[in-house]
Amino acid sequence: PGRLEVAGDVFSLGVVMLELLTGKHVEEVWLSLEHGTTEERLDTAASLADEGAWRQSGTSGAMRTFAWLAITCTSDTSAQRPTAAALTETLQRIHLEIVAGYAAGEEECVVCLNARRAVRFGCGHLVACA
């Protein structure tokens, strides 16, 4: 039996993320993504993104972040892959941008539209000033 290793799990998650990003089985896109710098692989992954799932919803920034995360998760060496904590933080940021409509840089309170957001709920959302 094999051992459970976080680095292997992160790679596997990256494979699943690539399938979610492109809407295709990873074997269909892997040859295009296997080689090159991280930036080149990111550009390729973003160009392969499933139009219906990402581009029509106005979430191109979140899509590119998701693609970057998938690419870094599938890096050749475990040292280049993100930690579980970094994965969680980045996925939460993507969630906030897509689901909650919070994009990076939108820091004003949704009530007074002036002060910085300060109220953080358990789910991570920041909504109103203190």
Per the model's pLDDT, the better-predicted residue between 28 and 60 turns out to be: 28
**For tokens 């080149």, what's the residue?**
40
End-to-end CA distance of the chain: 53
Assess whether 76 and 126 both reside in one domain.
no
Domain limits for position 116: 104-130
Q: How far apart are CA 29 and CA 47, in angstroms?
A: 11
pLDDT on residue 69: 92
Q: Domain count of the chain?
A: 2
Assess whether 116 and 90 both reside in one domain.
no
Per the model's pLDDT, the better-predicted residue between 49 and 96 turns out to be: 49
With a pLDDT cut of 70, the percent of the chain lying above it is 64
pLDDT at 13 over 90: yes
**67, 29 in Cβ contact below 8 A?**
no
Q: How far apart are CA 67 and CA 22, in angstroms?
A: 9
pLDDT in tens, 77-119: 888 899 988 888 888 888 777 666 555 455 555 555 555 555 5
pLDDT on residue 61: 77
Assess whether 110 and 57 both reside in one domain.
no
Assess whether 19 and 67 both reside in one domain.
yes
Residue 52 pLDDT level (bands cut at 50, 70, 90): confident
